[in-house]
């Protein structure tokens, strides 16, 4: 079975990697009146218990705005409930309401020995207010374990920077140097602090060590070192550094301002020049790490705190929006993407992601309108055209989708391995639009670029099976796809169907039964299993399976054929290649 929507495999903006960044194309939209960030909020009631239960439900649904309001109301009725206080505090942080959570943090820190998040908020709030004495006092009781254990040296170091003690700040960072996996974080912040302290040679050494300890070029290291070189007047070195990163990340637009600076001779600011910016950077770095470790809610809180200290931190805004998107909080994600300023190089990426979230909210017309606006604003970028093609294809507007993909492909220049997804996407639209020869060429070209791509192997193989051609080659391709994705019900279905077409009904039943286990609610897979049962002499089970397929809402054009099979069964086995 060709199966899944390409939405599940189309390359999308992911959360920023450690010290890295979001690099796709994009910019934030002007939406209709209330905008896509409008969301139904749960009403606060009169019952404390009711508000608590509703708040817990909202929290489970990741609706942190409703959860914080409901739990805060419940807390008013039970102000001594420390567990409720902690829960309310965390939902406020996740919702980005940092300022009002500081008072709660004070209460929690006063009654609990550890309370790492509460004490972190106290430090952040003190730094936000410029009160380094209060920040220093809060750090004295800061935990030394877990994430807090390597957050504390970063916080302490930047507080010392604010006190004009640059050398002491570097010493405070030393514990990070000794911890496995934190060397890049140590070197980056040692470099940033050395820069601010007026130690350019020391800073350059740390920047280079950060690059050497990273598995690949990370954006924040590149930006820090590049700015450092620019300030020293070494424009050629900075340009070469940026060019190398762009070559490795060809869709990145984040370094556009840097390249413009080099052209104008303008000197850049420090990546982090004071405690607020330094701690914001550290919180962003750690939040990025947490997203990779599946600690989404904690990453969201750290990301929110980062933005609180540096409100125009576009990378942190993209990170937080991406986390919300991963939680299916699409309206909240849109609201955060909208906060990315028009002057940011990520403004374009934010608009592109907004379109994707509008689609997730089933606001396809608005998403299509926004994508069309993007293509007009900058007709040189293929990104919006690819997204437009994907959206039109998912809406079964295949001819329009093909046109969008054609225009995107015309902008690509040399076709590279990473472009296989665009060819695959266009191939699907072409196949659905009954332009098989062009579709086949796209699938084959996609496989040339990425020979081991299971979805392309499956789609092309299944299409051949469906047409009754190239069956032996199709079988080998689909078998390989199953090896690569053994638990993908659609691909397993394809293998069962090719065995069916080759007359191996026993083997077909075995594979199709497994496909139904993996994708029990798919009408086509259940229909296929019914056909295989019939050919294997299991007529009662076949009719049961066909009836089940009808209950699963198959496509309208499939219903008459299934009803006919329930009534009359299938013909002789020789006509198996014409079934379904």
Burial of 48 (0-12, 13-18, 19+ CB in 10 A): middle
Q: At 27, is the secondary structure helix, strand, or coil? A: strand
Q: How far apart are CA 188 and CA 124, in angstroms?
A: 20
Q: Is residue 301 within 8 Å of residue 94, measured between CB atoms?
A: yes
Q: Is residue 135 within 8 Å of residue 158, measured between CB atoms?
A: no
Backbone angles phi, psi at 339, to 5 degrees: -75, -10
Q: At 536, is the secondary structure helix, strand, or coil? A: coil
Q: Using alpha carbons, select from 67, 278, 51 the residue that is nearest to residue 161.
A: 278
Q: Is residue 477 within 8 Å of residue 497, measured between CB atoms?
A: no
Sign of CA dihedral 318, 324, 327, 332: negative
Q: How far apart are CA 496 and CA 519, in angstroms?
A: 13
The pLDDT of residue 294: 67
pTM for this structure? 0.83
The residue with tokens 């955060």 is 336
Radius of gyration of the chain measured on its C-alpha atoms: 28
Q: Using alpha carbons, select from 249, 248, 227, 246 the residue that is nearest to residue 238.
A: 227
Buried b (16+ CB within 10 A) or exposed e, 351-372: bbbbbbbbbbbebbebbbbbbe
Q: How far apart are CA 275 and CA 130, in angstroms?
A: 9
Backbone angles phi, psi at 27, to 5 degrees: -155, 145
The pLDDT of residue 12: 30
- CB neighbours of 267 closer than 8 A, spacing ≥ 6? 230, 231, 261
What does 380-392 look like in DSSP terms, one character per residue? T-SHHHHHHHHHH
Q: Is residue 203 within 8 Å of residue 254, measured between CB atoms?
A: no
Q: How far apart are CA 90 and CA 98, in angstroms?
A: 10
Q: How far apart are CA 498 and CA 220, in angstroms?
A: 50
Mean pLDDT of residues grouped by 10 in the chain (580 residues)? 48 33 32 36 66 89 90 89 92 92 92 90 96 94 81 94 92 86 90 93 92 81 94 94 91 90 93 96 91 82 97 96 95 96 94 96 96 94 95 96 97 93 98 97 97 96 92 94 96 95 95 97 96 96 97 93 95 57
The pLDDT of residue 211: 85
Give the relative orientation of helices 523-535 and 539-551 as an angle to the nearest 10 degrees: 170
- CB neighbours of 263 closer than 8 A, spacing ≥ 6? none
Q: Cα separations (Å) of 333 from 90, 96, 131, 349, 386?
A: 19, 12, 32, 13, 21
The pLDDT of residue 44: 63
In degrees, to the nearest 5, what angle opens at C-alpha 168 toward C-alphas 164 and 170?
105
The pLDDT of residue 580: 54
The dihedral region occupied by 3, where left means phi > 0, alpha psi between -120 and 50, and beta the remainder, is: left
Q: Cα separations (Å) of 305 from 16, 135, 311, 324, 442?
A: 16, 15, 10, 15, 46
């Amino acid at each position: 079975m060709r199966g899944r929507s390409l939405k599940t495999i189309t390359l999308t903006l992911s959360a920023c990697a450690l010290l890295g960044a979001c690099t796709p194309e994009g910019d934030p939209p002007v939406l209709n009146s209330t905008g896509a960030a409008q969301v139904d909020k749960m009403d606060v009631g009169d019952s404390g218990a009711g508000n608590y239960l509703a708040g817990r439900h909202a929290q489970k649904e990741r609706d942190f705005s409703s959860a914080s309001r409901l739990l805060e109301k419940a807390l008013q009725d039970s102000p001594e409930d420390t567990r409720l206080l902690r829960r309310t505090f965390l939902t406020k942080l996740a919702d980005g309401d940092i300022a009002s959570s500081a008072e709660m943090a004070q209460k929690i820190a006063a009654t609990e020995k550890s309370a790492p998040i509460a004490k972190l908020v106290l430090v952040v709030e003190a730094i936000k207010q410029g009160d380094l004495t209060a920040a220093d006092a809060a750090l004295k009781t800061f935990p030394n374990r877990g994430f807090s254990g390597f957050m504390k040296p970063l916080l302490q170091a930047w507080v010392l920077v604010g006190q004009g003690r640059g050398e002491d700040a570097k010493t405070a960072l030393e514990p990070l140097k000794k911890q496995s996996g934190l060397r890049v974080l140590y070197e980056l912040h040692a470099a940033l602090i050395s820069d601010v302290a007026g130690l350019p040679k020391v800073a350059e050494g740390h920047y280079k060590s950060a690059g050497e300890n990273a598995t690949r070029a990370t954006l924040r290291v590149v930006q820090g070192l590049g700015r450092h070189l620019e300030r020293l007047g070494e424009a050629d070195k900075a340009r070469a550094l940026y060019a190398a990163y762009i070559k490795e990340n060809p869709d990145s637009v984040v370094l556009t301002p840097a390249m413009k600076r080099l052209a104008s001779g303008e000197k850049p600011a420090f990546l982090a020049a004071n405690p607020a910016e330094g701690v914001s950077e550290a919180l962003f770095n750690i939040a990025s790490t947490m997203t990779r470790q599946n600690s989404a809610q904690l990453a969201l809180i750290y990301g929110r705190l980062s933005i609180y200290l540096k409100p125009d931190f576009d990378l942190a805004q993209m990170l937080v929006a991406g986390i919300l998107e991963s939680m299916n909080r699409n309206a909240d994600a849109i609201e955060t993407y909208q906060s990315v300023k028009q002057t940011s190089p990520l403004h374009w990426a934010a608009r592109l992601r907004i379109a994707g979230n509008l689609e997730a909210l089933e606001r396809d017309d608005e998403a299509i309108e926004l994508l069309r606006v993007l293509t007009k604003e900058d007709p040189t970028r293929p990104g919006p055209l690819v997204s437009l093609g994907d959206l039109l294809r998912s809406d079964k507007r295949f001819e329009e989708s093909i046109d969008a993909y054609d225009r995107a492909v015309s902008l690509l220049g040399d076709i590279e391995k990473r472009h296989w997804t665009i060819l695959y996407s266009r191939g699907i639209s072409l196949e659905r639009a009954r332009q098989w020869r062009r579709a086949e060429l796209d699938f084959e070209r996609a496989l040339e670029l990425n020979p081991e791509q299971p979805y392309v192997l499956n789609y092309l193989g299944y299409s051949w099976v469906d047409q009754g051609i190239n069956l032996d080659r199709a079988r080998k391709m689909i078998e390989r796809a199953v090896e690569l994705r053994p638990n993908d019900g659609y691909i397993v279905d394809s293998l069962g169907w090719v065995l069916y077409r080759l007359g191996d009904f026993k083997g077909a039943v075995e594979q199709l039964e497994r496909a139904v286990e993996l994708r029990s609610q798919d009408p086509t897979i259940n229909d296929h299993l019914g056909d295989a049962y019939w050919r294997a002499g299991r007529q009662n089970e076949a009719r049961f399976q066909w009836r089940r397929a009808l209950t699963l809402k198959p496509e309208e054009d499939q219903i008459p054929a299934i009803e006919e099979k329930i009534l009359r069964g299938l013909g002789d086995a020789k006509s198996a290649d014409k079934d379904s």
